[in-house]
Amino acid sequence: MSESQERLQSEMPTTYDPTVAERKWYDTWIREGFFQAGRRPDAPKYSIVIPPPNVTGMLHIGHALDFTLQDILVRFKRMQGFDALWLPGTDHAGIATQTKVEQKLREEGKTRFDLGREAFLEKVWEWKEHYAGTIHSQWAKMGLSLDYSRERFTLDEGLSQAVREVFVRLYDKGLIYRGKRIINWDPAARTALSDIEVEYKEVNGHLYHLQYPLVDGSGHLTVATTRPETMLGDTAVAVHPDDPRYKHMIGKMLRLPIVNREIPIIADEYVDKEFGSGAVKITPAHDPNDFEVGTRHDLPQITVMDEGGQMNANAGPYQGMDRSDCRKAIVKELQDSGVCVKIEDHVHQVGHSERSGAVVEPYLSTQWFVAMKPLAERAIESQKAGQGVNFVPDRFEKVYLQWIENVRDWCISRQLWWGHRIPAWYCQTCGETHVSHDDLAVCPACGGSSLKQDEDVLDTWFSSALWPFSTLGWPNETEDLKKYYPVDVLVTGYDIVYFWVARMIFTALEFTGRVPFRDVLMHGLVRDAEGRKMSKSLGNGVDPLEVIAEYGADAMRYMISTGSTPGQDLRFRLEKVEQARNFANKIWNASRFALMNLEGFRHEDIDLSGALSTADRWILHRFHETAREITRLMESYDFGETGRLLYNFIWDDLCDWYIEFAKLSLYGTDDHAKRSTQSVLSYILDRTLRLLHPFMPYLTEEIWQHLPHEPGETITLAAWPAYDAAFEAGDAVKEMELLMDAIRAVRNIRAEMNVSPGKKIELLVKPTGTAEEAILRHNEEYVRRFCNTSALTLDAQLSPPDKAMTAILTGAELYLPLAGLIDIGQEIARLEKELSNLQAEVERVEKKLANEGYIAKAPAHVVEQERAKGEDYRDKRDKMMSRIAELRG
């Protein structure tokens, strides 16, 4: 043992202080470069790129879940011997970040226009630097094993080069174009929005029924709308071509009230003739579906609002009014004139800007678009051919395909200053548009120098879509790109499968010819304890740093990572975090006990080849069984079940059973038994800490450094425990199960009869066979110690005493003569309750085995296990019935 290790063993504090451990070990890990990829150049690679958080402020509990799951995977793979890369980075988050900075300017009584574009962008870069630093400190608090030497930002030089390369290539292929289409428009921020930036809220609105008169005076048509102010832009009314009510009207003209414009009645299959009146007003400039109808029928596109949500000249007498004020005024006029014949209360979903809160306006605007159909077709073909990505859970593949099969062209331009400026220049001399990798000063067409670059920037998701390969150096053929791309898994929330996951897939296929990742692990949202979505308005948000300060990073990590299954939402409960902290303390205390009994013991002293006790062989078997199952679960991303197995093995098998059994050897006089138990205890604790390390990195590093262990600087690089069949010990498992059942049964009877654990009792044991009798005699010392007996009788022929508490086990019957404490009536009632439970189990198994479908589908060994259970339950039931009959006399 080294001098430093002796010092560490002697200095393990009485209680675990997460704050000290977190500060000490993260600094050490980073300083020593333990998280840097490339340390094992000949090892197989494993890579993850972090979903880049926005540089808009503090990380929330959802980030903590997302990042913890990734860290668990990377630490697991690093310990398995992979050359593991976890690439960090942040997203410039165009509208979100610009909105934050503009809010700050407004507090100073300024706007971005007061500063000008360049000065404003300097302010945003200052904001970015500040919050990127904040994010770094939060990552450190969470214990994330990121390779900071490869950190990226969506506006850094390399990623900017990748963005331009993609834009130019798509433009040259005709897949990026500039055109006039309906988009989501934020009238407060005066910019186009992506779908993900639109938040739908349930609103108590109204449905207005309007009558439009026929020009020839022969009648009218009734239409309904929730947005009467848009009627000023109506250019037709549509009916279904097969609707007998309106066939004779198709082609006739209606007079649009207020503006007196004549508009046609057109036939289009878009109309649902069963809904409402079967007639639909068509406003091509203010509704995406109407825009498509209008395009098919070559209808005029009349915009009635400006970019700020004010009514424009096409609104006639309402010009200059705010759209909401216009709605009130126009409804009054329509009511007064008899055009509005009915107003109904109507609850509907209304889109709001996620950033400004303004009601989003479907708006006809000249923007840049990506033609999605050719890109989507390749992604669909790849997925259906079995060459796409593996969604976990697999139900999200259907969600992905449904979206991408019905995808519309993607509006990629934003009326902002912060972001990747669109690389398009307009010649003021010849009128040509030029898209270029490089900034242009001279027109390639006419040689003129009057060039003006497009003022808009690209949608944030455009650069985010390139993240898996641009961060590794694309479009250059870098060594990192060759080695680490495609990445192995993307971990992300199910709420952005359309907006980000799908876009990464089709851009990667287009520009690298390969899918960007092998697996997509979809996790749910973190909700409050009542299942509500966390929001500022409810005040139910959780700051992960506050949780860490109170309970430690490991407790938070363990709770959020093991609290749900893939794809399911997680309810955040502080009491669960507290339970995780208690779990950490249990491990700490067990480790301190082990170290106190390993004084002078070195890793080199471990010897598992000699004679071992039943408990030693059992814990070795259970550990390797657990390690094998945990490895399988980790590979399949089932962290919830992994956490359950770890908890049960550590709390129950290791702490509550094995360590208690080990005390007999450690405190005994048999030096060989003591050395064997020290070997097993050291071996098991070391490897158990390794299994736990991905979930609780700080606690495990702190303890591991105190323990005797294989040569190595850190548990983060220690080998992941591999299953070893040499430690299989089915006979020891059978022995321990009988011993533990007996001890549990005696403890339960003590509790029911209020007999103190410290009070010695007489115990009579009737084994059911010679094998069970041999087990109990071989381990008699355990039975005496943990049942705390004054007298122990082991006899397969014994007759049950009259006044004794009874326990029927698999392999033995236990009798506790508790003279003066037992009430025969109460004992019969207790046994009848147990009999009822046993009868229910018998019936459950018999019903299952009577199911032909189950017998046909279940594996043969599983069916045999159920049959064995049934026999065991029937045997216990029959013995219980006999004992009840005996007591009744």
Beta bridge pairs of residue 351: 200
9, pLDDT greater than 60: no
- Tokens representing 840 are 């229910």
Nearest to 741 by CA among 836, 850, 683, 657: 657
7, pLDDT greater than 80: no
Instruction: Work out the average pLDDT over 664-679.
Output: 92
In what helix (H) or strand (E) does residue 167 lie, and over which residues does it extend? helix 157-172
Q: Would you state the pLDDT for residue 8?
A: 46
The whole-angstrom separation of Cα 384 and Cα 393 is: 17
Which residue type, as a one-letter code, is found at position 728?
Answer: E
The whole-angstrom separation of Cα 281 and Cα 231 is: 8
pLDDT tens-digit series, residues 808-858: 899 999 999 876 566 778 878 888 898 899 899 989 998 888 888 888 888
| 486 cis-preceded (ω within 30 degrees of 0) | yes
The whole-angstrom separation of Cα 487 and Cα 48 is: 6
- Tokens representing 437 are 């990798």
At 885, the pLDDT band (50, 70, 90 cuts) reads confident
156, pLDDT greater than 50: yes
pLDDT tens-digit series, residues 562-602: 988 888 888 998 999 999 999 999 999 999 999 999 988 99
In what helix (H) or strand (E) does residue 571 lie, and over which residues does it extend? strand 570-571
Q: Which residue has the tokens 């020593």?
A: 32
The pTM of this model reads 0.86
Angle at 682 between CA 678 and CA 688, to 5 degrees: 145
The whole-angstrom separation of Cα 501 and Cα 522 is: 10
The whole-angstrom separation of Cα 651 and Cα 733 is: 18
Q: Would you state the pLDDT for residue 504?
A: 95
Q: Would you state the pLDDT for residue 238?
A: 95
Q: Which residue has the tokens 């790849």?
A: 382
The whole-angstrom separation of Cα 367 and Cα 459 is: 11
**Which strand ranges, in their side-by-side order, compose the sheet holding 261-267?**
253-256, 261-267, 236-239, 279-282
Is residue 727 helix, strand or coil? helix
The whole-angstrom separation of Cα 139 and Cα 141 is: 5
Q: Are 693 and 75 in contact (CB under 8 A)?
A: yes
Burial of 829 (0-12, 13-18, 19+ CB in 10 A): exposed
Strand 261-267 relative to strand 236-239, pairing: parallel
Instruction: Work out the average pLDDT over 153-181.
Output: 96
pLDDT tens-digit series, residues 117-138: 999 999 999 999 999 999 999 9
Strand 236-239 relative to strand 279-282, pairing: antiparallel
| Structure letter (DSSP) for residue 339 | -
CA distances from 408 to 95, 246, 462, 485 (A): 22, 31, 15, 29
Q: Would you state the pLDDT for residue 635?
A: 97
Number of other CB atoms surrounding residue 474 within 10 Å = 23
Q: Are 660 and 702 in contact (CB under 8 A)?
A: no
Q: Would you state the pLDDT for residue 11?
A: 73
Q: Would you state the pLDDT for residue 3?
A: 46
- Tokens representing 479 are 């060594």
| Structure letter (DSSP) for residue 421 | B
23, pLDDT greater than 60: yes
Q: Would you state the pLDDT for residue 10?
A: 52
Give Cβ neighbours of residue 75 (< 8 Å, ≥ 6 apart).
145, 693, 694, 697, 716
pLDDT tens-digit series, residues 218-270: 899 999 999 999 999 999 999 999 999 999 999 999 999 999 999 999 999 99
Beta bridge pairs of residue 247: none
Q: Would you state the pLDDT for residue 624?
A: 98
pLDDT tens-digit series, residues 411-464: 999 999 999 999 999 999 999 999 999 999 999 999 999 999 999 999 999 999
Beta bridge pairs of residue 54: 91
Beta strands in 7-87 (DSSP E): 45-49, 83-87
Which residue type, as a one-letter code, is found at position 322?
Answer: D
Burial of 255 (0-12, 13-18, 19+ CB in 10 A): middle
Q: Which residue has the tokens 């992905």?
A: 400
The whole-angstrom separation of Cα 866 and Cα 872 is: 10
Q: Would you state the pLDDT for residue 168?
A: 97
pLDDT tens-digit series, residues 726-771: 999 999 999 999 999 999 999 998 888 778 888 899 999 999 999 9
Is residue 17 helix, strand or coil? coil
The whole-angstrom separation of Cα 371 and Cα 462 is: 13
The whole-angstrom separation of Cα 146 and Cα 84 is: 10
Instruction: Work out the average pLDDT over 38-54.
Output: 95
Q: Would you state the pLDDT for residue 692?
A: 98
| Structure letter (DSSP) for residue 476 | S
Strand 457-458 relative to strand 413-414, pairing: antiparallel
The whole-angstrom separation of Cα 149 and Cα 159 is: 16
pLDDT tens-digit series, residues 680-690: 999 999 999 99
Which residue type, as a one-letter code, is found at position 496?
Answer: I
